[in-house]
Amino acid sequence: MIVMKFGGSSVAGAERIQQVGRIVASRLSQKPAVVLSAMGDTTDHLLEAADRALQEGLVSIETIETPHRETMRALALGAEVQAEAAALLGELKSLLTGISLIRELTGRTRDYLVSFGERLSVRIAAAYFRSINLQARALDSWDIGFISDSQYTAADLEKDSWRLIPQALNPLLAEGILPVITGFIAKDRKGNITTLGRGGSDRSATIIAAAMGAEEAQVWKDVDGILTADPGLVPQARPVELVSYEEAAELAYFGAQVLHPRAMQPCKKTNTPVVVKNSYNPGAPGTRIVPVLNQRAVLVRALTSRRKVTLIDIVSTRMVGQAGFLEGVFSAFARHGISVDMVATSEVSISLSLDVTEGLEALTQDLEKIAKVEIKTNKAIVTLVGDVSRSSEILQQTFGVCAALGVQAQMVSQGASKVNISFIVDDSQAAMAVKALHKHYFETEALASIT
Ligand code: ASP
Ligand code: MG
């Protein structure tokens, strides 16, 4: 079997749902289970409605009701699903009325509230699928074993789910049923609705794929997969065919719009491939995220950059040994709850990069007790993900490109994960560096000789 997950923009409205229907219908032989997000921006609209109820005592579900009704009308769906949707919308309205009266919104209520998005989308999509003769059944995730802890707004599934999910889904698949399952939501043992955190439906899909031992988890988005660079910055960016979990995680961490590392985790555990596909362009191959890449033919697989980075140079003012000095520096960061991205050290100095630009005064005062501190703002991190066992070649070529542009690397680090090389440049030069590096690694004839 396979799991096919469609995000909010892939199910935003009648035409998009029809397209999902075509994509799913073309893959029935692979025994899909479908996982859906809420339609379009429904989750945001639900949270906005809650806010209005909470702050102003206003109860309005129009921004949620209208698009759903419109979609059902445009898909010519029958009375049964319209009644189901009306019941959910009614329940939502009562909940908002409750919030407007007691003027309180706990995490638990918030999760209950946003759950209506996914509960509506699966019912509407499944009804449409049935209208095109697919044997679809809408399922709330708790009906197929999604039991979570009670950490509202950021819940995690309990171990039992791994056993319960196949127990529930296998018989349905055997009957030829197409399960259409809510992403994002679950229930705790007390029966309260929980959510896996914003963007959590990718994780719902990878959990199902992993628990089912699926052939693959397909995550359908509105881009052609993981790209060699941010297309907003580099129009020539193209999809990467194959990446390892580790590489994809590094890319996500350093700013690429990919799957969140947490979303990939369940499939990583079971070595299940995750494929990122484009529902607007289903013919495109997409990106396959796999456990390990045997042929490391490519020197650099993708690059990314992250802006608004701060660089801190700390030089010890005391003749303390390095261990004591590093300990002093890191405990100051820990005390102020500021996490560090990149680090480079020598015996008496240390350079660190942070993704915060403000609120560093207290930290600086603390650090100044043991060191001279210099803060440099308006920096950016450029990250190359690739075959770091050939790091000298990558460094040579990368800094050759940078030197030709007059771009100075102010700090360099090679990730311990051995798949990324990152360096810091002035923010004003980051775009230029990324474009030139993309040209060097992905757009020139040189590529043929590198690979
Ligand atoms: N609908 C939820 C959100 O917007 C979950 C998801 O789309 O993954 O965060
Ligand atoms: Mg969404």
Residue in 115, 181, 182, 198 to alter for ligand 1 test, most ligand atoms within 8 A of Cβ:
198
198 C-alpha to ligand 1 centroid (Å): 5
| Angle 29-240-230 from CA coordinates, rounded to 5° | 125
> Ligand 1: does its nearest atom lie under 6 Å from the Cβ of 8?
yes
Q: Which ligand is nearest to the CA of 260?
A: 1
The two structure tokens encoding residue 204: 């719902």
> Ligand 1: does its nearest atom lie under 6 Å from the Cβ of 263?
no
Exposure pattern of 245-263 as b/e (b: 16+ CB <10 Å)? bbbbbbbbbbbbebbbbbb
Q: What is the pLDDT of residue 334?
A: 92
Q: Which atom of ligand 1 is nearest to the CA of 117?
A: 1
Residue in 43, 46, 48, 64 to alter for ligand 1 test, most ligand atoms within 8 A of Cβ:
43
Q: Which ligand is nearest to the CA of 120?
A: 1
Q: What is the pLDDT of residue 321?
A: 63
Q: Which ligand is nearest to the CA of 37?
A: 1
Q: How far apart are CA 217 and CA 269, in angstroms?
A: 13
Q: Which ligand is nearest to the CA of 117?
A: 1
37 C-alpha to ligand 2 centroid (Å): 6
Measured in whole angstroms, the distance separating CA 17 from the mean position of its chain's CA atoms is: 22
Q: Which atom of ligand 1 is nearest to the CA of 41?
A: 4
- Domain boundary assignment for the chain: 2-222, 300-449
The two structure tokens encoding residue 47: 């949270």
The domain defined by 2-222 carries CATH number 3.30.1370.100: no
Residue nearest to atom 5 of ligand 1 (CA): 199
Q: Which atom of ligand 1 is nearest to the CA of 197?
A: 9
38 C-alpha to ligand 2 centroid (Å): 6
Stated pTM of the model: 0.87
Q: What is the pLDDT of residue 109?
A: 98
> Ligand 1: does its nearest atom lie under 6 Å from the Cβ of 37?
yes
Q: Which atom of ligand 1 is nearest to the CA of 118?
A: 1
Q: How far apart are CA 254 and CA 403, in angstroms?
A: 23
Q: What is the pLDDT of residue 325?
A: 85
430 C-alpha to ligand 2 centroid (Å): 30
> Ligand 1: does its nearest atom lie under 6 Å from the Cβ of 198?
yes
Tell me which residues of the chain have a pLDDT lower than 70. 255-257, 294-296, 319-322, 415-417, 445-451
Class of domain 300-449: alpha beta
Residue in 122, 182, 184 to alter for ligand 1 test, most ligand atoms within 8 A of Cβ:
184
93 C-alpha to ligand 2 centroid (Å): 21
Q: What is the pLDDT of residue 416?
A: 64
State residue 415 phi and psi, 5-degree precision: -55, 145
99 C-alpha to ligand 1 centroid (Å): 22
- From residue 81, alpha-carbon distances to 41, 71, 75, 278 in Å are 21, 12, 11, 28
Q: Which ligand is nearest to the CA of 5?
A: 1
Exposure pattern of 84-114 as b/e (b: 16+ CB <10 Å)? bbeebbeebbebbeebbeeeebeebbbbbbb
Structure-token match 């590529």, residue found: 447
Q: % helix / strand / coil in the chain, to the nearest 5?
A: 45, 25, 30
CB atoms within 10 A of CB 78: 12
Cα-Cα-Cα-Cα torsion 204, 46, 121, 287, nearest 10 degrees, comes to -50
Q: What is the pLDDT of residue 255?
A: 66
Q: Which atom of ligand 1 is nearest to the CA of 198?
A: 9
